[in-house]
Structure 1
Amino acid sequence: MTKTIGFGFIGLGGMARAHLRSIRRFPDAAVTAVCDVSAEGARAFAAEAGGVPEERIYADYRALVADPAVDVVVCVTPNDTHAGVIRACLEAGKPFMAEKPFTRTFEEAEELIALYRERPVPNMIGFSYRYQPQFRLARELVRSGKLGPIRHVFIQYLQSWGSAAVGTPLVWRFDKAVTGTGTLGDLGSHMIDTARFLIGEFEEVSGRLATLIPERKHPATGALAPVEVDDFACFHASLAGGVPAVFQTTRNALGSGNQHEAYIYGDFGTLFVSSENARTVTWIHKTLEEPEAVREELPVSAEGGVDQWDEFMKLLRGERSDLVTTVEDGYVNQEVMEAILASERRKAVVSLPYRQ
């Protein structure tokens, strides 16, 4: 008989419910404990998850990690608790899945990578675009040589919910004490992972960050309060082999929904891939028959994607995919972001690996 794996959920918002829908597909998985700062929200999620008993509804994540009924931890919390939860899991020897960014600060990342290398456990950091079929097809096409030598790359991630016309108040994603950075850590971390996934490692960066809307209404008082994190970030980079790359991300792009996309320019053509189109990638190239460049929509096979939870469950069963993002990837991602922040402070190009 297959042993049921007990999952403990920490942070019970929208992403936790998305993970809950995924976990229901596995007959050998069950939610055995939950934790949230809202007692009411925790009880509602416990009921939704199949009736987690009252004694396993926690307000303190450390108690959940210590619970013997919890085999694996799923951390879906704001950035300021990522390091604490991951540290508790490593010390308890329990596998975990945690959302990105890896940590709030680079100092936290350095502490955790040292502990992880001493006491490794199966884990996944949630850079979810690696699992989408269009991004995987793009990677295969780059690796196959279809584009020829890669000459340069442009990656962007645009959202509109922070724009002035929307009037979003000072939610936690604008609170430096909670997030560490703003759009750089939230959306920029995905761009960094996409570049590593499609092209290779970062060699150097030059960054520019801005706070376009410096004040927002405090949700409790209604008074204007300062915004201390970036809501726009751009950076230049040199990727593996010296490939130049340009990145931009903002929450102020009115008209953009969840627009994460990459243009990859090679000698044989240009490849375009977007989070907003999972069915095709665009291939722009020359043919002998046409004097102008041809735009071809390459179909994406639904089987080309790999479900994030399928990969995580395989990992827990002892299988290993070289495409799963772990603490090691989370650390490198945080290191690149820290180099971008250092570049902004110094007004200079910063090399990787980064050393303070």
Structure 2
Amino acid sequence: MGMIGGGPGAFIGPVHRYAAEMDREIELVAGVFSSDAARGKAAADVYRVDPERAYPTLEAMFAAERERADGIDFVAIVSPNHHHLPAARAALAAGLPVMTDKPLTATLDEADELAGLVRAAGLPFGVTYTYSGYPLVREARARVASGALGTVRKIVVEYPQGWLATEATGKQAEWRVDPARAGLGGCIGDIGVHAFHLAEFISGLKVVSLLADLGTVVPGRALDDDCTVLLRFDNGARGVLLASQIEVGERNGLRIRLYGDRGGLAWRQETPNMLELTKLDGRTEIVHAGSGQLGPDALARTRTPAGHPEGYLEAFANLYRDFAAQLRGEPAPLLPGLDDGLRGMAFIATAVSASRAGAGWVPLTV
């Protein structure tokens, strides 16, 4: 694996590295870790990558790795959003599959361009919507598909954080509130898109229209930091999506509830090893990670027995395990890919434009 981004001070770069290497199917061996050569070498030292394979540019990496018998087989893009398109474009042109962090790109126009490149290249392409890798999220998806809730009527998904409740300082905060690097959306593109993907992934439904109210709460900020979006799904169900990065005291409180005509379901990212199912008669079933109650999709991505918590890194690793399967030519139908990335970008763009225009209900088309 070659990594693009993930230099000193990055959060998500080390996460990708840990996740990719967890199952010993993938190894990080090269990268363009920073636009600054010295910082790139420093990152290589941290990652224990040969300093000769810490390259100053994409072009240098692709040219050098092409000549190696042990050259990279794919790239992971972990840089800020504005770099996703040029990095993916260069990788695909070099004949390399791509795993990219979300959102797909900085703008919807860029996403459309990238989609054309991916389809023309015909190479594996994955998007790290991390939460779809949790075993109990996959179990929730399977339970809904089996009819355990009956017809889904209502979906409520929330993603509250509080770390941007004041002026942004530090590398991780500064680029996320900068339109030149983050793109069109702030909170909606950083975490709202995770909530959107999770709602569609678990329910199996598609959002067909939305009503968005995106706010910029912190004075002087250029992008949204507090979002409320009403949703309508293709089966007639209604939904609410709340995403905020100014809710003081919240850490990473992603949670989702689905309600059908036969039962309800609830899952929380901060307690990811329990799935709550409520029956129409009032009974509640608690499904535990690693238990014999799980179906094949969840069991296939469970690493430890019940009572031994699995979490964020393991969920991330499940996506890389799926991607490794794709590289071998094996099916991995639950790995988020190009279509998921496009839907996420369409959601961001539609929510931002509708909120700014005060447009009321608008269709979501991809």
TM range (shorter): 0.7 to 0.9
**2:129 alignment partner in structure 1:** 127
Who is 2:276 aligned against? 282
Kindly state the Cα deviation for residue 28 of structure 1 after the two structures are TM-superposed: 5.5
Q: For residues 298-352 of structure 1, give each alpha carbon's deviation from its aligned partner in whole angstroms, at most 9, with x where no partner exists.
A: 2232753631221111111111211111122211211122121232133232213
Percent identical among aligned pairs is 28
> Are residues 162 and 305 of structure 1, via their aligned partners in 2, closer, same or farther at CA, if it must alter by over 3 Å?
farther
State the Cα RMSD in Å.
1.9
C-alpha displacement of 1:130? 0.7
Q: Is the 8 A contact 1:31 1:52 kept in 2?
A: no
TM-score using structure 1 length: 0.87
Provide the residue aligned with 1:312 in structure 2: 323
Q: How does 1:224-263 map to 2 (within 5 A)?
A: 227-263=221-257
**Gaps in structure 2 of 5+ consecutive residues:** 292-297, 302-317
- 1:31-85 CA-partner distances (Å, limit 9, x unpaired): 332211343432233223334132x222323332443123211111011101111
Aligned 1:1-356 pairs, distance under 5 A? 7-12=1-6, 13-25=10-22, 27=24, 29-35=26-32, 36-54=34-52, 56-66=53-63, 67-68=65-66, 69-164=71-166, 168-169=168-169, 171-180=174-183, 181-199=185-203, 200-215=205-220, 227-287=221-281, 293-301=282-290, 304=299, 306=301, 307-346=318-357, 347-354=359-366
Farther off after superposition, 300-309 or 204-213: 300-309
Rg (Cα) greater in structure: 1
Are the equivalent residues in 1 in contact too, given 2:227–2:244 (CA < 8 A)? yes
Q: TM-score normalised to the size of structure 2?
A: 0.84
SS in 1 for 2:266: strand
Mapped partners of 2:87, 2:49: distance in 1: 24
Q: Which amino acid aligns with 1:282?
A: E
What is the number of residues matched between the two proteins?
Answer: 329
Do the aligned residues in 1 keep the contact of 2:118 with 2:125 (CA within 8 Å)?
no
CA distance in 2, matches of 1:201, 1:124: 20
The question of whether the paired residues in 2 share the 8 Å contact of 1:64 and 1:70 is answered with no
Q: Note the alpha carbon deviations across 1:103-160, whole angstroms, 9 max, x for none.
A: 0001101111122222221111110111101211211111111111111111110111
Of Structure 1 and Structure 2, the greater strand share is in 1
- 1:84 and 1:42 map into 2 onto residues whose CA distance is 19
Secondary structure, in 3 states, of the residue corresponding to 1:74? Answer: strand
In structure 2, how many angstroms separate the alpha carbons of the residues matched to 1:48 and 1:161?
Answer: 26
Q: Secondary structure at the match of 1:48?
A: helix
Q: Unpaired segments of 5 or more residues in structure 1?
A: 1-6, 216-226, 288-292
Q: Quick one: higher RCO (CA 8 Å, sep 6+), 1 or 2?
A: 2
**Aligned to 1:256, what secondary structure does the other structure show?**
coil
Tell me how far apart the structure 2 counterparts of residues 125 and 257 of structure 1 sit (CA, whole Å).
23
Residue 234 to residue 64, structure 1, CA distance change in 2 (3 Å): farther
